[in-house]
């Protein structure tokens, strides 16, 4: 059997058999290795990203409760056990059928990384913002069939606009395109203006028609938080597109999340790594939105970027942006002029100091033995003068004409 699977760029990958995604090879993940349709399995260990992002500490301040996160994707399987009643809204489908179903599994995995509920010891799966509410906006798949790339292109901007009208606080866009489209740009700008935090994938290399590094949209639009994926060592995966659109990074390797209607699955870094990373940043934004309900999207983005973990506090790059997101620090750090990093909303860019000029000091170093040398010199001069005087005296005493 070959089945269609939605990729992070909206393209369709044909996957042989009933396995929906590559999975981890560790013994702890063995029982979820197959991720077979119709077979419910659970992964007992918590997602590595939850620990890496300090989620337990962040949950002491916020769980995302009351925050609505729109997942504009392939739908969300609301009957997964990690989504109890009320955690997934009805949403809207632009492709026929309910938005609370998911033919590919991509949207459900994204929603789980954001807001899956803890169901006890049999499963370790939990989202980074387990109190948030998911709003599914289904723009691909569905009952209408058809070309999913065309569906995504036609439905993405309307899907974003609908999410804003339906009350989304955060919009997750685990997708990207090289096309700078006017309708998409306008939809994103309207969302940001309405106070919605928009988070988007910086791009996945294996799924891109153009695999070269460079701008990807909607991540590159003003006000959008663009995301790259990291592995377990906080190194950005080779699959993540590099470019100016990258603002932050988050885990995208060995992601343990919800698998359609059937419990859990372990998704590897291959192909869709920045999709999962985007979900974790969207979840972090949901934590901040609950904690700072009046904060603008720009303030939330600045907090996430200024407090991210990175090697250089003063410089971003096109690989990891400002670094790996740190939700607890983003909620608690006092941001003032002493904090290095991105400029705060409304702030003035810090002047770049001129490079230091090395000057060579030509001032002679003091000679520690100069006094001794001076004394010897004066002694020699004195002796020489005495000898000369003695010689002249002898010459004057000699009788003349002798």
Query: What's the CA gap between 128 and 56, in Å, rounded?
Result: 9
**Active site residues per annotation:** 73, 106, 275
**pLDDT confidence of residue 51:** 95
56 falls in which pLDDT band (50, 70, 90)? very high
Contacts of 226 (CB under 8 A, 6+ apart): 200, 201, 202, 216, 219, 220, 245, 246, 247, 248, 321
d(CA 43, CA 266): 8
Residues in CB range of 309: below 8 A, 6 or more apart: 234, 323, 324, 326
Residue tagged 């790259």 (tokens): 228
Q: What is the pLDDT of residue 19?
A: 29
The token duo for 199 is: 């988070």
Sole residue written with tokens 């000057």: 359
Confidence (pLDDT) at 58:
98
The distance of Cα 383 from the centroid of its chain, to the nearest Å, equals 84
Residue 238 neighbours by CB distance under 10 Å? 12
Which 3 state secondary structure label does DSSP give 359? Answer: coil
Residue 303 pLDDT greater than 90, yes or no = yes
* Virtual torsion, Cα 297, 302, 308, 312, nearest 10 deg: 150
Q: Are strands 264-267 and 92-93 parallel, antiparallel or unpaired?
A: unpaired
Residue pLDDT, tens place only, 373-390: 667 667 777 777 777 767
Using the predicted structure, report yes or no on whether residue 21 has a pLDDT greater than 60.
Answer: no
DSSP string, 113-140: HHHPPP--TT-----SSTT-EEEEEE-S
- 13: pLDDT strictly greater than 60: no
Exposure of 370 in the CB half-sphere (CA atoms within 13 A): 5
Please tell me the predicted confidence (pLDDT) of residue 67.
Answer: 98
For the chain, give every domain's residue range: 2-332
Mean pLDDT, the chain, integer: 85
Helix axis angle, 273-291 to 297-306, nearest 10°: 110
The CATH architecture of the domain made up of 2-332 is 3-Layer(aba) Sandwich (3.40)
pLDDT of residue 326: 98
Residue 53 in this model has a pLDDT that exceeds 60: yes
Confidence of residue 339 (pLDDT cuts 50, 70, 90): confident
Is the bond preceding 311 in cis, omega lying within 30 degrees of 0? Answer: no
Name the residue among 22, 317, 258, 284 with its Cα closest to residue 136: 258
Find tokens 């005493």 and name the residue.
397
**Residues composing the chain:** 402
Residues of the chain with pLDDT > 90, as a percent, come to 64
CA–centroid distance for 93 within its chain:
29
Mean pLDDT of 173-188: 96
Listed in sequence order, the residues at least 6 apart from 284 whose beta carbon sits closer than 8 Å to its beta carbon are 53, 58, 128, 129, 250, 304, 325, 327, 330
H or E element at residue 61 = none
Q: How far apart are CA 60 and CA 132, in angstroms?
A: 15
Nearest by Cα to 170 from 131, 118, 124: 131
- Contact 277/228 with Cβ under 8 angstroms? yes
Rg (CA), the chain: 34
Of 254, 275, 280, 260, nearest in space to 3 by CA: 260
SS (HEC) of 169-223:
CEEEECCCECCCCHHHHHHHHHHHHCCCEEEEECCECCCCCCCCCCCCECCCCCC
């Amino acid at each position: 059997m070959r089945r269609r699977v939605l990729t992070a760029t909206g393209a369709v990958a044909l996957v042989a058999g009933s396995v929906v995604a590559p999975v981890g090879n560790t013994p702890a993940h063995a029982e979820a290795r197959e991720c077979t349709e119709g077979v419910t399995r659970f992964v007992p260990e918590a997602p590595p990203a939850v620990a890496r992002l300090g989620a337990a500490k962040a949950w002491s301040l916020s769980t995302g409760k009351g925050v609505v996160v729109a997942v504009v994707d392939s739908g969300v399987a609301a009957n997964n056990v990690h989504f109890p009643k009320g955690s997934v809204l009805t949403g809207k489908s632009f492709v026929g059928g309910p938005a609370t179903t998911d033919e590919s599994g991509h949207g459900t995995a994204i929603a789980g990384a954001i807001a899956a509920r803890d169901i006890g010891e049999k499963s370790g799966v939990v989202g980074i913002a387990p109190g948030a509410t998911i709003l599914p906006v289904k723009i691909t798949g569905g009952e209408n069939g058809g070309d999913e790339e065309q569906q995504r292109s036609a439905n993405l901007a309307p899907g974003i606009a609908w999410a804003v009208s339906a009350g989304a606080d955060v919009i997750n866009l685990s997708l990207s395109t090289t096309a700078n489209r006017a309708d998409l740009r306008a939809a994103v700008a309207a969302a940001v203006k309405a106070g919605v935090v928009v988070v988007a994938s910086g791009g996945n290399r294996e799924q891109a028609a153009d695999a070269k590094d460079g701008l990807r949209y909607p991540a590159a639009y003003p006000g959008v938080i663009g995301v790259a994926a990291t592995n377990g060592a906080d190194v950005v995966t080779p699959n993540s597109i590099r470019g100016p659109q990258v603002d932050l990074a988050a885990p995208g390797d060995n992601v343990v999340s919800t698998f359609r209607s059937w419990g859990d699955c372990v998704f590897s870094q291959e192909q869709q790594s920045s999709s999962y990373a985007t979900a974790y940043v969207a979840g972090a934004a949901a934590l901040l939105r609950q904690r700072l309900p009046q904060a603008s999207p720009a303030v939330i983005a600045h907090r996430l970027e200024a407090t991210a973990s990175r090697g250089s506090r003063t410089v971003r790059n096109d690989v990891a942006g400002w670094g790996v997101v740190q939700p607890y620090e983003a909620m608690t750090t006092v941001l003032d002029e002493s904090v290095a990093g991105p400029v705060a909303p409304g702030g003035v860019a810090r002047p770049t100091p001129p490079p230091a000029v090395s000057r060579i000091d030509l001032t002679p170093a003091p000679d520690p033995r100069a006094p001794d040398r001076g004394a010897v010199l004066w002694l020699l001069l004195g002796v020489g003068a005495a000898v000369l005087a003695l010689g002249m005296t002898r010459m004057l005493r000699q009788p003349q004409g002798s």
